[in-house]
C-alpha cells in the first residue's frame, strides 16, 4: 500500500519547519535591532536638542534651566523616561569620562565667571559626544545590514533545498497516482454502498461504485442529472426539498452537521422492476457529504444504501410495540372506563376508518385537497375521542396520520398517487384497532368466565344502564383537561351542567359529545392562559371551562365557555392573510365578528407548530361540519382578556334523523 499521507513528505515538512523557525527568529531579532536603533536615534536627537538649548543660553539664565538639562543628560546616560520616551542605560558604548566632564561643566556654567569660554568648551564636548554616538549608531546599522544579507543568503539556500526535495518527490507522483487510481477502482468494485459524485450543476460523476448499479437494478452506470434520476422514485414535494437541501450543501454559509437532519432522502421507498416485469419494493437511504478543495465545495459525495431489511425489521418492531401499547391502553382503560364506552369508541373508530377507506377509493372525486380535508376531520375526531378516554396509542397514531396528511397537503398540485401514503397510514390504524379489539374481546370473555365463577372484576364504573355508561363521564373530561393543560404548563378545571332529559340514546347525543370534546380541547390549547399570564391579568392561576347542556322541546343547546384570553382578532386577521385565506383588502372590509369566524376554516390555526392537541386547524372545522350536518346554529362571543364562549343549538329532529341516516362525519 502506497502512503500518500504526511509521512511521505516528512523531510520536506521538516525543512519547511526549520525555515519557518529560522525566519521567525530572524524577524524577531530584526525587530529587536530595529527598536534598539530607533531608541539610539531618539537618544542622539535628544542630545542634539539639549546641545542646542545650551548653545542658545546666555549669562543670567536661571539655575533651574541648567538643572533640567543636567537631569536630562543624566537620564540619557543612566536610563529613565523623558517626555514619555523610555531610555535604557548607556553601558560601554560611550566613554564615561566624557559624560562626567559634560555634567561637571554643565553644573558650573550657571555660576561661571567666564561664561562664554566655559560654554564654548561645553559645546565642544557635546559635539564630541554627538559624534561618538553617531558612530555607535552607524556601527549598529552596519551589523544590522550584515544580518539582513546573511538572512537572505540562508533563505535562498533553504528555498533551493525545498525545491530540490519537491522535485525529487514529484518524480514518483505519476506512478503513485496510477497506483491510487487502481486501488480506488478496486474499492469501488467491492464496497456495499452505492457511491457517486454530484457536480455543482447536479450532474452525476463518472466514478461510481459497482454496488450502485445493483442497488437500483441497472446494467449500466447512472448518468445525467441527479434530480432527473431521482424524479423516478420520489414525489415532487420531496424532490423540491432535496434540491433545496443539496443547494445548502453546495453553499458555504451553512455547516454540514447542522443540516444533516434535514436530509429528505434518509429513507426512500422505491419500486424496482424484476426480470419478469413485476415490481419489488425496496427502501433506499441516501447520504451526502461535501468534498472540499481549498475550502470550496467541489463535489457532493453521495452514498445509496439498501436498508430494506432494516426497515422491515423496524416495521415488525413497530407492530410489536403497537400491540404492546394497545394492551397497556386496554388494561389501563378498563380500570377507569366502562366497557360500554370502550365498545362505543371502537365502533365509532371502525366507522370512521371505513369512511376514510371509502374516501380514498372514490375515483370520481378528483378534488384531492377536499379528500384530505374530509379525512382530516375523521382522524381528528378519532384523536379527540382517544384523548377523552386517555388511549394514548390511538392518539399518537392519529397524530402520525395527521403529520403525513400535512406533508402531502403542502404539494400545490396533488395527484392520485400522492395519497398513497394515506393508505399505508390507514392500514396501520386498522391494524392497531384490530389488535386493540382482539385484546378487548379476550379480556371481556375472561371477565365473563370469572363472573360465572363468582369472581367479580372491576372495570370502570359500569353502574346504571348502558346508555349512561356510554356517555362521556365528567371525570374523563376532567382528566383530559388536566392532561392537556399539564402538557402546556397550564392549570385548568371543568364545571359542567347537564340539563338534558333521560331517554336519549348515545347515538342521538353523539354529535353534541363530539363537538364538546373538540371545543374543550380548543379551550385548553388556545383559550386558557399560562398561570403567570393569568396572575398578571388579575385572574386566578387556574383557568375554568364551563360546559352547559340544556334541552328544550325543540332543541338541545351546548355552551362551552372558558375564562381565558378571549379572541385576538388582529392575530386571526394576520394569520388568515399569511395563509392566503383572505387578502389585505378583503380583511379591511370584514368586521371583528366576520374575522373571528375564520377560525372555523379548514386548516386554520393561530398556532405556529402543530402538536398532539392543536395546530392543525381541524378541530373547529370539524365542529362546523357537525353543525352543518345536523342543521345546528353556531354562536361565538368573546371579550378580550376575559372569556370565549361557543354556543351550538341542535334541533332535536335533525339529531335523530341524521343519526338514523348517517354514521360518520364528512
Q: Tell me the average pLDDT of the chain.
A: 82
- Beta-carbon contacts of 1 under 8 Å, excluding residues fewer than 6 positions away, are 183
Distance between CA 508 and CA 505 in Å, rounded?
A: 5
Query: What does the pLDDT read at residue 336?
Result: 62
Q: What pTM was estimated for this model as a whole?
A: 0.51
DSSP string, 525-590: IIISPPHHHHHHTT--SSEEEEEEEEE-SSEEEEEEEE-S----HHHHHHHHHHTTSS-HHHHHH-
The terminus-to-terminus CA distance of the chain in angstroms comes to 69
Grid cell for residue 604: 386554520
User: 178-182: long-range contacts at Cβ-Cβ below 8 A with a sequence spacing of 24 or more?
Assistant: 179/2, 180/2, 180/4
CATH number of the 312-452 domain: 1.20.120.160
pLDDT in tens, 341-373: 788 888 889 899 999 999 888 888 888 888 888
* The pLDDT of residue 453: 58
Lowest mean pLDDT among 180-189, 214-223, 394-403: 180-189
* Segment among 52-66, 197-211, 451-465, 512-526 with least mean pLDDT: 451-465
Q: Is 5's pLDDT higher than 60?
A: no
Task: Say which CATH class 192-306 falls into.
Answer: alpha beta
**Distance (Å, rounded) from C-alpha 331 to C-alpha 443?**
9
Mean of pLDDT values over 129-140: 81
Q: Would you place residue 469 in the very low, low, confident or very high pLDDT band (cuts 50, 70, 90)?
A: very low
Q: Could you say which DSSP state residue 454 is in?
A: T
Q: Where in the chain are the domains? A: 6-170, 192-306, 312-452, 471-661
Per-residue pLDDT, averaged over 616-624, amounts to: 87
More confident residue, 103 or 399: 399
> Top-level CATH class of 471-661?
alpha beta
Higher pLDDT, 464 or 238: 238
- In angstroms, the CA 662 to CA 666 distance is 10
- pLDDT (tens digit, 9 = 90+) per residue, 398-412? 888 988 888 888 888
Q: If you average pLDDT over residues 623-638, what whole number do you get?
A: 93
Identify the pLDDT of residue 32: 78
Q: How far apart are CA 342 and CA 330, in angstroms?
A: 9
Give residue 253's pLDDT band: very low, low, confident or very high (50, 70, 90).
confident
Which of 607, 268, 337 shows the shortest CA–CA distance to 480? 337
Amino acid at each position: 500500500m502506497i502512503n500518500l499521507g504526511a509521512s511521505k513528505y516528512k523531510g520536506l515538512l521538516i525543512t519547511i519547519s526549520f525555515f519557518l523557525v529560522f525566519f521567525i527568529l530572524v524577524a524577531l531579532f530584526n525587530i529587536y535591532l530595529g527598536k534598539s536603533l530607533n531608541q539610539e536615534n531618539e537618544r542622539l536627537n535628544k542630545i542634539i536638542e539639549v546641545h542646542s538649548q545650551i548653545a542658545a543660553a546666555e549669562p543670567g539664565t536661571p539655575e533651574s534651566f541648567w538643572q533640567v538639562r543636567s537631569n536630562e543628560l543624566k537620564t540619557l546616560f543612566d536610563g529613565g523616561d523623558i517626555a514619555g520616551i523610555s531610555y535604557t542605560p548607556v553601558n560601554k558604548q560611550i566613554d564615561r569620562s566624557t559624560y562626567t566632564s559634560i555634567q561637571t561643566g554643565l553644573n558650573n556654567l550657571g555660576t561661571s565667571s567666564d561664561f562664554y569660554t566655559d560654554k564654548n568648551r561645553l559645546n565642544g564636548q557635546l559635539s564630541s559626544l554627538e559624534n561618538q554616538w553617531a558612530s555607535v549608531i552607524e556601527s549598529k546599522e552596519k551589523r544590522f545590514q550584515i544580518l539582513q544579507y546573511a538572512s537572505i543568503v540562508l533563505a535562498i539556500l533553504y528555498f533551493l533545498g525545498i525545491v530540490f526535495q519537491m522535485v525529487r518527490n514529484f518524480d514518483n507522483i505519476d506512478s503513485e497516482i496510477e497506483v491510487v487510481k487502481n486501488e480506488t477502482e478496486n474499492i469501488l468494485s467491492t464496497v456495499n454502498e452505492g457511491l457517486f459524485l454530484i457536480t455543482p450543476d447536479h450532474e452525476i460523476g463518472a466514478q461510481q461504485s459497482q454496488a450502485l448499479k445493483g442497488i437500483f437494478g441497472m446494467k449500466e452506470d447512472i448518468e445525467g442529472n441527479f434530480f432527473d434520476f431521482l424524479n423516478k422514485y420520489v414525489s415532487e414535494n420531496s424532490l423540491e426539498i432535496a434540491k433545496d437541501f443539496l443547494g445548502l450543501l453546495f453553499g458555504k454559509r451553512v455547516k454540514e452537521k447542522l443540516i444533516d437532519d434535514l436530509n429528505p432522502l434518509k429513507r426512500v421507498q422505491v419500486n424496482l422492476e424484476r426480470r419478469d416485469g413485476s415490481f419489488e419494493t425496496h427502501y433506499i437511504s441516501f447520504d451526502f457529504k461535501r468534498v472540499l478543495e481549498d475550502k470550496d465545495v467541489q463535489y457532493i459525495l453521495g452514498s445509496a444504501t439498501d436498508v430494506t431489511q432494516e426497515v422491515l425489521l423496524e416495521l415488525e418492531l413497530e407492530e410489536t410495540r403497537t400491540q404492546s401499547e394497545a394492551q397497556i391502553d386496554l388494561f389501563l382503560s378498563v380500570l377507569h372506563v366502562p366497557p360500554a364506552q370502550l365498545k362505543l369508541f371502537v365502533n365509532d373508530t371502525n366507522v370512521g376508518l371505513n369512511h376514510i377507506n371509502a374516501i380514498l377509493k372514490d375515483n370520481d372525486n378528483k378534488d384531492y385537497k377536499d379528500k384530505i380535508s374530509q379525512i382530516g376531520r375523521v382522524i381528528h375526531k378519532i384523536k379527540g375521542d382517544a384523548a377523552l378516554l386517555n388511549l394514548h396509542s390511538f392518539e399518537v397514531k392519529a397524530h402520525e396520520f395527521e403529520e403525513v396528511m400535512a406533508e402531502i397537503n403542502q404539494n400545490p398540485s396533488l395527484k392520485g398517487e400522492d395519497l398513497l401514503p394515506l393508505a399505508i397510514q390507514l392500514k396501520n390504524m386498522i391494524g392497531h384497532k384490530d389488535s386493540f379489539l382482539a385484546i378487548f374481546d379476550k379480556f371481556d370473555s375472561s371477565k365473563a368466565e370469572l363472573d360465572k365463577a363468582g369472581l367479580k372484576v372491576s372495570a370502570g364504573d359500569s353502574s346504571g344502564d348502558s346508555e349512561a355508561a356510554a356517555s362521556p363521564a365528567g371525570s374523563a373530561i376532567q382528566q383530559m383537561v388536566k392532561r392537556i393543560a399539564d402538557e402546556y404548563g397550564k392549570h385548568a378545571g371543568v364545571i359542567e351542567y347537564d340539563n338534558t332529559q333521560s331517554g336519549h340514546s348515545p347515538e342521538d347525543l353523539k354529535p353534541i359529545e363530539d363537538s364538546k370534546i373538540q371545543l374543550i380541547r380548543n379551550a385548553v390549547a388556545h383559550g386558557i392562559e399560562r398561570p403567570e399570564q393569568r396572575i398578571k391579568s388579575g385572574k386566578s392561576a387556574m383557568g375554568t371551562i364551563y360546559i352547559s347542556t340544556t334541552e328544550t322541546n325543540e332543541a338541545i343547546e351546548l355552551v362551552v365557555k372558558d375564562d381565558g384570553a378571549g379572541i385576538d382578532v388582529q392575530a386571526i386577521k394576520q394569520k388568515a392573510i399569511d395563509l392566503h385565506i383572505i387578502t389585505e383588502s378583503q380583511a379591511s372590509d370584514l368586521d371583528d365578528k366576520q374575522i373571528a369566524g375564520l377560525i372555523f376554516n379548514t386548516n386554520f390555526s393561530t398556532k405556529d407548530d402543530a402538536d398532539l392537541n392543536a395546530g392543525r386547524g381541524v378541530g373547529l372545522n370539524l365542529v362546523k361540519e357537525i353543525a352543518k350536518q345536523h342543521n345546528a346554529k353556531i354562536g361565538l362571543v368573546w371579550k378580550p382578556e376575559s372569556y370565549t364562549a361557543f354556543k351550538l343549538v341542535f334541533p332535536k329532529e335533525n339529531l335523530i334523523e341524521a343519526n338514523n341516516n348517517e354514521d360518520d362525519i364528512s
